[in-house]
Chain A
Amino acid sequence: AQSVTQLDSHVSVSEGTPVLLRCNYSSSYSPSLFWYVQHPNKGLQLLLKYTSAATLVKGINGFEAEFKKSETSFHLTKPSAHMSDAAEYFCVVTNDYKLSFGAGTTVTVRA
């Protein structure tokens, strides 16, 4: 069995400050982990993925995430938020064909 918990349903940051979105997972096997972003009224876009290579993964738009097996975490960070980062973010764990989504974190960015 596998599951994903996104620890914050909503994160609010000021433009230019760091962003941290927290994700914990459980999985019986070595998982693949992903972060997706969804802008309002749009589909889901892949930000980055972890598939058992480097534990620090760099993605698009300056985002990165670190896989920590001991903490079963895959937190997403960005050093400096931009207004265009306002969106919904989903952490996803997969094993074989099964995709499990977190409930999502809504990010708002204050000018």
Chain B
Amino acid sequence: NAGVTQTPKFRILKIGQSMTLQCTQDMNHNYMYWYRQDPGMGLKLIYYSVGAGITDKGEVPNGYNVSRSTTEDFPLRLELAAPSQTSVYFCASSSAEGRQNTEAFFGQGTRLTVV
């Protein structure tokens, strides 16, 4: 089982460039998430999706966009990269059994540096 797959693992961007972080899961999970992790700051939710065609903002959405055209894929788009977006990005997916959440499965992360 592949689980949650993120690409790329590392990327260096110049200020003002744009890029898309790819995320795909093969567990048929309804819920998908994008987080960023800064040193000593825990994980901050950027965007999430509860199903194909539905997305919503998390705590820190500015400078990012997402789409969810299929259950499997949840790409994160950075427009006009800024140094403040230097971070490690994690994609995750989860599901629900009745009213209880299953655990979230995480990708291996994308380390992004904006210079």
Q: Which residues of A contact B (CB under 8 A)?
A: 9, 29-30, 32, 34, 36, 42-44, 46, 49, 51-52, 90, 92, 94-97, 99, 101-104
Contact = CB atoms under 8 A, between A and B. Distances in A.
A97 B48 contact: yes
B94 interface: yes
Contacts of B41: 103
Contacts of A42: 108-109
Interface residues on B, range: 20 to 34
Contacts of A51: 97, 100-101
B102 to A, nearest CB: 8
- Top-10 shortest CB links A-B: A94-B101, A103-B42, A44-B106, A43-B108, A32-B101, A97-B31, A51-B100, A101-B43, A43-B106, A46-B103
Interface of B: 30-31, 33, 35, 40-43, 45, 48, 50, 90, 92, 94, 96-97, 99-101, 103-104, 106-109
Given A43-B107, A51-B100, A94-B101, A99 B33 contact: yes
A94 B50 CA distance: 14
A31 B16 CA distance: 41
Given A97-B30, A99-B104, 8 more contacts: A32-B100, A32-B101, A42-B109, A43-B106, A94-B101, A96-B101, A97-B50, A99-B101
